[in-house]
Amino acid sequence: MLPGVRWRCHLWVQLGVLVALFLYSYHLTLQTQRLPPPLRPTLPLSHRQSVTLSDGTFTFHLNLSCYEAQFPQLQRHLCRAVIAEAGVCKRAGGLPLFLLAVKSHPASSGRRAALRRTWARAGVAGGYRLQPLFLMAKTPDARHLSLVRQESSHFRDVVLWDFLESHHNLSLKERCFLQWLHTHCRQAAFVFKGDDDLFMNPQALTGYLRHLPNASLFIHGNIQRHAAVMRRGKYSVSRTLYPLEHYPHFASGGGFVLPGSLVPALYQASLRLPVFPLDDVYLGFLVLAAGLSFSHEKRFRVWGAPKDELQVYRESFTVHGIPPKRMEEVWKGLWSPRQGKEA
């Protein structure tokens, strides 16, 4: 090939390479422009506008900014446990675990003592291993906190969080307990949750769960169906916070049973929803958001016994509003002949 021809060929090859590089670069530019914008990180709960839930009858709109404005402590608290009792669910025992979680106040040491002498004690009933756990928050009274620490050291059955006890903070206790369950007690077959002025019949309740088909698919309790919203009194909420006139279904907080298998779904729902300032209604919203269901049973007597007779306590799962002295009288009347057998 002549030198001039060879030079021109070389030049054309170089120009071709340059054109190819230019076209390739332009193509990449177009492709980049067509890509969707990068996803923004999920906004914090307080920065989102609202959550909408429906149960087929009512649609519930929860304005998150209102919850942040009126009850910021319920939305922001990080659930730090002063006493965590992280190993309580891992104690030895081959039977399925039935956790007996009791909401209590540090000042109520007399009630806790009565419960530990009656139904809230480690043992066996209906093929389940019973394990009590008392759920508390702080109090400004140093003497009461000192007694709680002594109880924890002796019985190893206390969880104490670092927020203060109050009526509205019971909802925070609900959220923090779900987190505690999710972290420390995934092996529980069932979780009973009730107040410290409540009588619970372990034999009757475990027998009911053992013989009920698909018991692990439902939350069991005395179910309030679309209860009316109160605008006055202890359980009132403002129209600004909650303009609707009815709540979703919820289990009365006096006492109910939660299958352990449903805890993850409820815990995930608690990360998405604002904390409602009434604890039983708050759980109702979590159940709705998680797509779960309730099972109503009137033997959860959340308004007390129709008659203060042993037969009523024998047939009931729970009876709410029982003072410590009567609690022990009922327990002895029902179970004294069976000491040494299953509680």
Structural domains of the chain in order of their starting residue, each with its CATH number:
46-336 (3.90.550.50)
Q: Distance between CA 322 and CA 326 in Å, rounded?
A: 6
Tokens representing residue 113 in the block: 């003592």
DSSP three-state, residue 91: coil
Contact by Cβ (8 Å): 136, 151? no
Q: How many CB atoms lie within 10 A of CB 149?
A: 15
pLDDT tens-digit map of 57-93: 999 999 999 999 999 999 999 999 999 998 999 876 7
How many C-alpha atoms does 61 have within 13 Å on its Cβ side? 9
Contacts with 95 (C-beta within 8 Å, 6 or more apart), sequence order: 124, 127, 128, 129
Strand partners, 133: 101
Q: Distance between CA 280 and CA 171 in Å, rounded?
A: 8
Identify which has the larger pLDDT, 50 or 193.
Answer: 193
39-48: long-range pairs with CB below 8 Å, 24+: 45/75, 45/272, 45/274, 46/75, 46/76
pLDDT tens-digit map of 131-189: 999 999 999 999 999 999 999 999 999 999 999 999 999 999 999 999 999 999 999 99
Q: What is the mean pLDDT of residues 111-140?
A: 97
- What value does the mean pLDDT of the chain take? 87
Q: What is the mean pLDDT of residues 203-232?
A: 97
Query: Which element (helix H / strand E) includes 44?
Result: none
Q: Distance between CA 180 and CA 159 in Å, rounded?
A: 9
The percentage of residues in the chain with a pLDDT greater than 70, rounded to a whole number, is 84
Q: Does the pLDDT value for residue 30 go beyond 50?
A: no
Contact by Cβ (8 Å): 86, 184? yes
Contact by Cβ (8 Å): 204, 317? yes
Q: What is the pTM of this model?
A: 0.84
Q: Is the dihedral of CA 157, 162, 165, 169 positive or negative?
A: negative
Note the pLDDT of residue 19: 40
How many C-alpha atoms does 171 have within 13 Å on its Cβ side? 26
pLDDT tens-digit map of 238-277: 999 999 999 999 999 889 999 999 999 999 999 999 999 9
Q: Does the pLDDT value for residue 341 go beyond 50?
A: no
Q: What is the mean pLDDT of residues 305-333?
A: 96
Contact by Cβ (8 Å): 220, 300? yes
Q: How confident is the model at residue 285 (pLDDT cuts 50, 70, 90)?
A: very high
Identify which has the larger pLDDT, 3 or 294.
Answer: 294
Contact by Cβ (8 Å): 154, 180? no
Contacts with 13 (C-beta within 8 Å, 6 or more apart), sequence order: none
Q: Does the pLDDT value for residue 8 go beyond 60?
A: no
Strand partners, 62: 51
Note the pLDDT of residue 24: 36
Q: Distance between CA 266 and CA 288 in Å, rounded?
A: 9
